[in-house]
Amino acid sequence: MSLASIVQIESRKIDERPRVAGLYINRLRDNMRLQADPTVIYTIKEYYNNFDTIIRRVLYRDLKLDSEFNTYKIKGIPPGPITMPDISAIDAVLNYEKHNYLFMVANPSNRGYHLFASDLDGHNRNKKAYIRWINSKGIYR
């Protein structure tokens, strides 16, 4: 349920959820941290005790917040869900897409979807394009 909740928040696009779930499964199998931004957003809201705030951008300083839900700090899956996952998110985890992706970033050319990469170089290229886009929109938090 915890992983499904992360998948649901990470991708609002039901057709992309199996790919996102597969990425997280790959990271777990490779003994990597999930490094899931939705868990950082949950951590920020938990830290400030304000679950109504809207966070559109995760900052580097946010990645350092101590929480058993912050998957940039902990290994494995958080101790509980960050939201109540719907059936499509649960199904995505149970029937995840098999691929070699380890990294993703929001796709500025296709809102709601992600760009995926199997290596850090590819991810850094995708990330650079995303940062350029988000800065151009004036989104700083």
Which whole-number Å values give the CA distances from 27 to 99, 100, 140, in the listed order? 11, 10, 28
With residue 115 as reference, give the H or E element that holds it.
Answer: strand 114-117
Burial of 78 (0-12, 13-18, 19+ CB in 10 A): buried
State yes or no: pLDDT of 129 exceeds 90.
Answer: yes
Contact between 139 and 65 under an 8 Å Cβ cutoff? The reply is: no
Mean pLDDT on 116-131: 98
Contact criterion met (CB below 8 Å) for 18 and 96: yes
Residue 101's pLDDT is what?
A: 99
Round to whole Å and give the CA distance between 17 and 113: 10
Task: Identify residue 118 by its one-letter amino acid code.
Answer: S
Whether 49 has a pLDDT exceeding 90, the answer reads: yes
Tell me the mean pLDDT in the region 77-101: 99
Residue positions counted in the chain: 141
Say what the pTM is.
Answer: 0.95
Which tens digits make up the pLDDT trace of 27-39? 999 999 999 999 9
Quick one: pLDDT at residue 115?
A: 98
Report the chain's mean pLDDT, rounded to a whole number.
97
pLDDT at 94 over 90: yes
pLDDT at residue 3 greater than cutoff 90? yes
Closest CA to 97 of 15, 18, 3, 4: 18
Asked whether the predicted pLDDT for residue 141 surpasses 90, the reply is: no
Q: Is the pLDDT of residue 1 over 90?
A: yes
Identify the DSSP state of 98. Answer: P
Residue 105, pLDDT score? 98
Share of the chain above pLDDT 90, in %: 98
